[in-house]
Amino acid sequence: MDLVLQSPHLTDTAVDALQRACAPRSVRRKPGAARLAEVAHDDGTRATVAALAQEHDCDVAFVDGARAQADIRALAMDMDSTVITIECMDEIAGYAGKGAEVAAITEAAMRGEIPDFAESLRRRAALLAGADAALIDRVIADRLRFSPGAPELIAAARANGWKTLLVSGGFVQFTGHVQRALGFDVACANHIEIRDGRLTGHVSGPPENGGAIVDAAGKAAALRRLCAEIGCDTSQAIAVGDGANDLQMMRLSGLSVAYRAKPLVRSQANVAIQHAGLDGILNLFADRW
């Protein structure tokens, strides 16, 4: 195994400390990252590495020292708080004067009082009934920003020949913008109905998901469809997300990445990135060094 260290402010002190902890065969450096080759990775070493990473504010990932970009065929990414920095539903609700009400439903869902994502989404969308549909464009113009490294990651994916999927429990009005801006091959999301320039509060899933709301199972199904279309196994895919709704998709993939994610998701992913940008995913591959 190799150990990849990453942080926008990775210091020599951090690299030296990690090097002492796991005795690599060699060390390679680039701005903001280091790769320690053929490291010890027993439980004790892993625990020490995790503690040092926290102390030095850097990401660490034990990776297959031979894994190359050519081993990957597909890249699936959640949108809200992953590819982009916001939660689109919350932003619309804030502009519509319904921020507190929507947040209360979100909190109830997180406490397990509304275990069904589709029900939670419908309740939140219903609160937006009557809101000016122009708020969607306002959110896109004023609030929607790409996460660090997202454009670079998608550009590299295209160069590598990976097929890219943008998947969201949110709305096509936002995934369409992001897909066009970054060049994702496929997008899958829900639809919030607009009539006479107003949101009706009604939501529906996409035809490719049988009209069902895109939830955790819908995200996993979207990844399966993409892999089937290009003739690869899901083990040849990377899946990136931040929330519990992404875990089914992430478990299907051969490389799951938790990006600035909830603790539950970090604990179950192959790799967690808290400090580096999304393009840090590329440093997990031997041939990027």
Q: Indicate which residues carry an active-site annotation.
A: 78, 80
Q: In what order do the strands lie in the sheet with 255-259?
A: 198-204, 186-195, 163-171, 74-78, 237-241, 255-259, 271-273
3-state helix, strand, coil in the chain (%, to 5): 45, 25, 30
**How far is residue 88's CA from residue 91's CA, in Å, rounded to a whole number?**
5
Write out the H or E segment, with its range, that includes residue 49: helix 43-56
The residue assigned the tokens 């660090």 is 148
Residue 206 vs residues 13, 116, 138, 216: alpha-carbon distances, Å: 50, 18, 24, 14
The residue assigned the tokens 């796991």 is 22
Q: How far is CA 118 from the centre of its chain?
A: 20
The residue assigned the tokens 């969607």 is 136
The DSSP line for 117-179 is HHHHHHHHHHTTTT-BTHHHHHHHHHT--BPTTHHHHHHHHHHHT-EEEEEEEEEHHHHHHHH
- Beta-sheet pairing, 186-195 with 163-171: parallel
- Beta-sheet pairing, 198-204 with 186-195: antiparallel
In this structure, what token pair is assigned to residue 41? 């990775």
